[in-house]
Structure 1
Amino acid sequence: MKSKKIVITGGPGTGKSSIIHKLEDKGEKCLHEISRQVTLEAQKEGIDQLFLENPLLFSEKLLEGRLNQYHEANALNSDHIFMDRGLPDVVAYMDYFNTNYPDIFDHTCTNHRYELIFILPPWKEIYKSDNERYESFEEALKISSYLYSTYRRYGYDPIEVPKLTVEERTDFILDMI
């Protein structure tokens, strides 16, 4: 059975990971964001912020990892899988940073489709920076607009998740599927 792939996306600090964890608590199958893993692996190699120092290499690693997740979702025996970010997120960030990328990025996004996209809007009251999230809230606002436009460019109509409690946001998503 081919699993229905559902993306939870949004700018930095919008509550994606909290919702993914709540979905798991409710017994849903989820695949987690991999950018922190890529960042931490680079830090072990002495590169403090791989995305800032070599954005193309960082993005290639993200694209590869998210493509692996896409195929992993197809292999899981479930009618749907929630994914913390999708392939178009990589392109959105590259566009935000005005960084050129090879055609394979666009090709990969065009040829690997998701069934539903939920997008979390910027929310200043819950935004927090940390060691891996270096963006200011103002930058997070801009990134969010790139995410909206990138997903639309690939033919998606993202469903905006209202600013509610984590439980209510999770229930909103589950009610929509």
Structure 2
Amino acid sequence: MSARFHIITGGPGSGKTSLVGLLAMQGLCCMPEGGRAIIQEQVANGGTALPWADRTAFASMMLDWELHAYKAAALCEGPVVFDRGLPDIVGYLQLNGLDVPLTVMHAVEVLRYAEQVFIAPHWPAIYRQDAERTQSEMEAKVTFEAMVDAYTSLGYRLVHLPLASVSERAAFIRSRINA
């Protein structure tokens, strides 16, 4: 386990990416979310590894992304913040009623993060759909609950982020990771 690898997870549209962006601007090493980048690449190239087309292929691409992010994070000094992590793939697959492949389970068991995982609760006041975030508000809430279940079942301790400004959330995280 790498105690210096910190995950921010939650449902879509709960402010994770904005928060990770601010933490990066404040000098922390941060690993961006793969889902949005994968969707953009697949749409641009006419691919089908999309959450609304081929969920299994999408999960496979997320696994590749997260494995590369984990490896890249090892090169960083000090704390590293991830916009989602390997356990999110488990939550995504379970949410969609798909089997979790042994390769995914092996990865989440071997490549561990800090025990404390920050989770952004569903926040209706800031939730917005866009080209990549097509989930309804109800689907966003259910996704949040799936992440709670996945991380808890994998032995992580969840720390709920406050419904506060991005800068207040960043200060909340920095105070808990000693950055």
User: Shorter-chain TM-score category?
Assistant: over 0.9
Q: TM-score, structure 1 length as denominator?
A: 0.94
Matches of 1:3 and 1:161, distance apart in 2: 19
Query: Which residue of 1 is the match for residue 85 of structure 2?
Result: 86
Where does the alignment leave 5 or more consecutive residues of structure 1 unmatched? Answer: none
How far 1:45 sits from its partner (Å)?
A: 2.4
Query: Which residue of 2 is the match for residue 112 of structure 1?
Result: 111
Higher helix share: 1
Moved over 6 A (4+): none
Work out whether residues 10 and 144 of structure 1, in 8 Å CA contact, stay in contact via their aligned partners in 2: yes
Work out whether residues 49 and 55 of structure 2, in 8 Å CA contact, stay in contact via their aligned partners in 1: no
Number of aligned residue pairs: 175
Percent identity among equivalent residues? 32
Where does the alignment leave 5 or more consecutive residues of structure 2 unmatched? Answer: none
Change (3 A) 1:48 1:111: closer
Work out whether residues 32 and 83 of structure 1, in 8 Å CA contact, stay in contact via their aligned partners in 2: yes
Q: Deviations over 1:91-139 (max 9, x none)?
A: 1011111112321111111111001310000000000000000101111
Q: TM-score, structure 2 length as denominator?
A: 0.93
State yes or no: 1:148 paired with 2:148: yes
* C-alpha RMSD over aligned residues: 1.4
Work out whether residues 148 and 158 of structure 2, in 8 Å CA contact, stay in contact via their aligned partners in 1: yes
State yes or no: 1:39 paired with 2:39: yes
Change (3 A) 1:3 1:100: closer
How far 1:70 sits from its partner (Å)?
A: 0.7
How far 1:49 sits from its partner (Å)?
A: 6.8
Matches of 1:3 and 1:110, distance apart in 2: 15
Work out whether residues 49 and 61 of structure 2, in 8 Å CA contact, stay in contact via their aligned partners in 1: no
> Residue type matched to 1:83 in 2?
F
How far 1:48 sits from its partner (Å)?
A: 6.7
